Amino acid sequence: MPRSVVSLLRPGPRPDYATLLAAVRRALELAGGLEVAPGARVLVKPNLVAVPPTPTSGACTSAAVCRALCDIIAERGGRPFIAESSARGIDTEQVMAFMGYSALRDEGYEVLDLKRCERARVSVPEGRVLEAITTWRPVVEADAIISVPVLKTHDQTDTSLSLKNLKGLVIDADKRRIHQVGVFEGVCDLARLFRPAFALVDGLIGQEGLGPVFGLPVEMGLLVAGRDLLAVDAVASRVMGFEPAQIRLLALAAERGIGVLDEGAIEVRGERVADVARRFLRMEEDTRIAIEGIEIVHAEGSCTGCRNGVLSSLFDMIQAGTISAARGMTLVTGGALPPAGTAPDLLVPVGICCPPELCVHPRYVPGCPPNNADIVKAIVG
């Protein structure tokens, strides 16, 4: 089996732009080079899931990394554009403004909020759970797609990297459907459909714990790049202290022939994984919410809207000094049932996916995704 090549560079967590540009250029070269046909429209896809606590919290891809990639593509005669749709129910423009992407427009870069673009329905020929999806015209018309995620943990998929990042290329209703039919197979279907040409992981400042939005920043100072997205994700996961074969999404992607997963079949160029690796806190090891005595129960199909809505509401309460009102409560989302023994008056069912018997509960929070203020109101009573 041919070895996949992945580059691993360490420009430091806060390089100046010239240093970053040189590092991105080197990362692409070491990974076998990024080929750009003259005039090719190249879609640079960052991860802008939602407005994070701070621009450097490691939840979203930094604008500087995308800018460097666009500059290199343009130098080679391509026509790059940055395009993203944030999580279900999230205003992408708000995230773009917060993360500095709107400012890139002022400098002449093309930055698209896909949610405002013309839609395009496409079939998924090799889909196992998706027969067709709705994306946008700039996505289907792109000559190449480069996935540019950030190095972080995720509450559903352990890590969220270049494959998982592809979910931002479908409309909100399909994001929801992917969670309902199975996020692992669904993301693999998208990888088969979109076939990105390259991945560049922004590991300058990553995120551990309560990812994908509210985790803790980790200054890793790294870039990981390659043509084989699965190999890139495997190396990046290993850098975070995960065994890639134990990550369900990556194991399934390997089984489906999307790329290479085995350590022995991946050639890492640049830094050695062992020299830069740092074990990231897993989602369940981030005790900032648990110490408040609050139980959160998500169904397997709960999507980011409810998961992050619950967490961000609790963060809002911590900041407002009202978190004590949530002590002892159990919040359930996405159709999950409360654990046996849950006191009915301390239960908060969240979201329209709740089973009918919970939708009549006095503390039930409707909405999809539910409004943070409504969640806080239901908790406070």
Q: Which is nearer to ligand SF4, 74 or 368 (CB)?
A: 368
Q: How far is the CB of 332 from ligand SF4 (least distance, A)?
A: 11
Q: How far is the CB of 181 from ligand SF4 (least distance, A)?
A: 12
**Contacts with 38 (C-beta within 8 Å, 6 or more apart), sequence order:** 77, 78
Positions 314 through 373 that interact with ligand SF4 (CB under 6 A): 333-334, 351-353, 368-369
Q: Which is nearer to ligand SF4, 62 or 372 (CB)?
A: 372
Under rule CB under 6 A, how many of the chain's residues touch ligand SF4? 13
* Cis amide prior to 344 (ω within 30 degrees): no
Start-to-end CA span in the chain (Å): 60
Q: Rounded to 10 degrees, what is the CA torsion of 7, 114, 185, 223?
A: 10
Site membership for ligand SF4, residue 302 (CB under 6 A): yes
Site membership for ligand SF4, residue 11 (CB under 6 A): no
The pair of three-digit structure tokens given for residue 367, joined into one six-digit string: 């909405």
Burial class (CB within 10 angstroms; exposed 0-12, middle 13-18, buried 19+) of 326: buried
Site membership for ligand SF4, residue 186 (CB under 6 A): no
Instruction: Choose, by CB under 6 A, the member of 43, 60, 66, 306 that binds ligand SF4.
Output: 306
For 70, the enclosing helix (H) or strand (E) is helix 63-75
Site map 71..110 versus ligand SF4, x via CB under 6 A: -----------------x----------------------
Site membership for ligand SF4, residue 303 (CB under 6 A): yes
The answer to whether residues 311 and 286 touch, using CB atoms and an 8 Å cutoff, is: no
Q: Which stretch binds ligand SF4 (CB under 6 A): 125-133, 187-195, 297-305, 339-347?
A: 297-305
Q: Which is nearer to ligand SF4, 268 or 353 (CB)?
A: 353
Q: Which is nearer to ligand SF4, 135 or 302 (CB)?
A: 302
The answer to whether residues 359 and 366 touch, using CB atoms and an 8 Å cutoff, is: yes
Q: How far is the CB of 174 from ligand SF4 (least distance, A)?
A: 12
Q: Which is nearer to ligand SF4, 148 or 306 (CB)?
A: 306
Q: How far is the CB of 102 from ligand SF4 (least distance, A)?
A: 26
Q: How far is the CB of 243 from ligand SF4 (least distance, A)?
A: 29
Q: How many other C-beta atoms can be found within 10 angstroms of the C-beta atom of residue 278? A: 13
Mapped to the 3 state alphabet, what secondary structure does 322-361 carry? Answer: CHHHHCCCEEEECCCCCCCCCCHHHEEEECCCCCCCCCCC
Q: Which residues of this chain interact with ligand SF4, rule CB under 6 A? A: 88, 176, 302-303, 305-306, 333-334, 351-353, 368-369
